[in-house]
Chains A and B, each alone.
Chain A
Amino acid sequence: MASRQRYDFLLYGIFVAAILLAPLMLEEFWLNRIAKYLVFGMLGVAVALSWGYAGILNLGQGLFFGAGAYMLAMSLKLASPTSLQQGSDKPVPDFMLWNAEPGALTQLCCINKGSFIWLPFQSQWFGVAMGIVLPVAIATITGMIVFRNRISGVFVSIITLALVLLVRLLVIDAQPLTNGFNRLTDLAWLTIGAFQFDPYSRATYYLVAIALSLVLVGARLLVSTRAGLILQATRDDETRARYLGLDVPSYQIFFFVVSAAICGFAGMLYVMVSEFASPTFMDLSFSITMVVWAAVGGRSSILGACVGAILINMIEAKVSETKALVEVWKAVVGLIFVLVVLYLPRGLGGFAHDLLDRWRARNAEAVPDEGLVAERRDTVAERG
């Protein structure tokens, strides 16, 4: 087992090295695109944590992604030159000006009924902080209600799904505050000290790549703590865990919240890279797409889900250069998803693990602790 862990960390190391060295081989134009996919990889990590390790199929991850995105986007919108029109030195988002009632005071405090909530977002760091705080708060409240009441399985999926759709409607509906369907665009760049993160620069790519590496390794370490082990136990058999004296809901809530925080973080990075925030982040199809990435890559493997998300998006980008292939590609991803669900419940990542185990077993027949795979095959054969 220990050597399995060593292999695991070797793979993580290779992945981290690969994404950090990628800029040496890529043109700048590609960096922005790849950075987006790395953000999706981070979403894969979040899905693997909650679905693979906690057994909670959250179909509303887009809610947390969107919450993170909007919080940072609000700050970046206020910092944008487009918010300083008409010679004012106090920022007001342009779309609020366009829609202002005649005679309304053109200030952030009172240009419309709710505009005052934008006031604290004049500080960029308030937006950054809220990008984590808001998803965490929503997840904590939802988690407490859901898990303390022992709601589980498909019902959690339905509740989270309903929640993301509800919030999406609210964001669209609150047009005067959020610009609704028209998205928050023309954003400023994130600024640290005097440095500005140009979305097409190497600096931004490295920021995203380093963030992903930290989240990836952090999540991997988290699931190998005692709490991570207990979490997997609650996934396997909630009742057994409860009768061992473990407070099952507190573990579910904790990891649900961590997963939400990662999504919120990813939402902020996405805003930096793509320069907009949109209600489509909270489309049902996006949340489901995340689940597909993780399922294909391997929900029981954090790295697998992450790589799955990145690869699917890279292939998709290549394929979509040819119009005719776009629909075909969708069908292919759908087919892979179905096949993986039916035949490889642990995804391609899990499949790779098994191959690795098998290969190691063949290469080290004499070593006693390597008998695991053979043993598994025997027991399965016995049963069948």
Chain B
Amino acid sequence: MAATALTIDGLEVSFGSVKAVNNVTMTIAEGELRVLLGANGAGKTTLMDLISGRTHSTRGHIHLYDTEITNWQEHRIARAGIGRKFQIPSVFRELTVRQNFEVASCRNPSVFANLGFGFSRQTLARIEEVLAIVDLRDKADVTAAYLSHGQTQWLELGLLMLQDPKVILLDEPTAGMTAAETKKTAKIINSMRGKHTLLVVEHDMAFVREIAERITVLHLGEVLAEGDIASIETDQAVRRAYLGSRSIS
């Protein structure tokens, strides 16, 4: 049996009177790809904010393997081994694609350790590999601001691959993409499978079918159901929560 990569235990946070995440408990096994499903405002992004340290929880615990990382600072959580892609793609817009990748490849976070020039041959080779995976080889020297929306999303995925964290959180990686782009994204995410433990927020059921093993459904900040695709699609509670909504189809 695989080790547990991410343990979330009784996690809670409120914004005013709204409990955006309410007593959420879930575990994700090492190497698993878990999809997080839920209507708009269900608390998916907030859950990722809690895991990655952007928002501090008021109750509950988060463990990365055996390390408790609850309410740590973001860069410490990142260094402990959690990477994150944002719902609105976030890259270094004035740097070229290659420079973006070089930044993500800097293992040592200290200023003084980085006062040297260049990168090891190993790192450069890895950057070429990732450029190929995310299909940005011919854009390597283009400033990130000039990429299309889809390419920007892939660039951000590439950053995560180079950061090489144990656990990767992806918030709506296909939002705003064309069907062709979505397909390509599924391919990229599938290529990350096995090397990382993944938690992916996604609405597009076609896409979910393509990548998912297990699904957790969030509703109004709580875990509504958990299981494989077939069991989620036939789950009565899920159907009721989504009644009239296009999400489960």
Contact = CB atoms under 8 A, between A and B. Distances in A.
Interface in A210-239: 222, 224-227, 229-230, 232-233, 235-237, 239
B188 interface: no
A246 B103 CA distance: 9
A243 B141 contact: no
Contact of B109 (A233, A247, A375): A247
A173 to B, nearest CB: 37
A226 B100 CA distance: 12
Interface residues of A, number: 32
B45 interface: no
Nearest to A379: B146
Given A1-B96, A236-B92, A243-B83, A225 B115 contact: yes
A342 interface: no
B94 A232 contact: yes
A230 B106 contact: yes
Interface in A248-271: 248, 250-251, 254
A87 interface: no
Contacts of B102: 226, 229
A370 B141 CA distance: 10
B114 A225 contact: yes
Interface string A186-207: 0000000000000000000000
B75 A236 contact: no
B234 to A, nearest CB: 37
Contacts of B21: none
A230 B95 CA distance: 10
B142 A244 contact: no
Contacts of A224: 117
B226 to A, nearest CB: 27
Contacts of A230: 103, 106, 114
Given A241-B103, A250-B111, A380 B146 contact: yes
Nearest to B111: A254
Contacts of B146: 375-376, 379-380
A102 B42 CA distance: 80
A242 interface: yes
B79 interface: yes
B109 A240 contact: no
B163 A232 contact: no
A227 B114 contact: yes
B52 interface: yes
B7 to A, nearest CB: 21
Interface residues of B, number: 40
Interface in B75-95: 75, 78-79, 83-84, 86, 90-95
Contacts of A1: 96, 98, 141
A233 B103 contact: yes
B17 interface: no
Contacts of B116: 225-226
Contacts of A222: 115
Contacts of B112: 227
A161 to B, nearest CB: 26
B109 to A, nearest CB: 5
B93 A236 contact: yes
A372 interface: yes
B159 interface: yes
A321 B116 CA distance: 48
B92 A240 contact: yes
B99 interface: yes
Given A232-B95, A236-B93, A237-B90, A225 B75 contact: no
Contacts of B148: 379
B222 to A, nearest CB: 26
Contact of B78 (A243, A250, A254, A380): A243
B134 to A, nearest CB: 16
Contacts of A225: 114-117
Given A244-B104, A247-B109, A375-B142, A229 B99 contact: yes
A369 interface: yes
Interface of B: 52, 74-75, 78-79, 83-84, 86, 90-96, 98-100, 102-104, 106, 109-112, 114-119, 141-143, 146-148, 159, 163
17 contacts: A1-B96, A222-B115, A226-B119, A227-B111, A230-B103, A232-B95, A232-B99, A233-B92, A235-B94, A236-B91, A240-B90, A240-B91, A240-B92, A243-B83, A254-B111, A376-B146, A379-B146
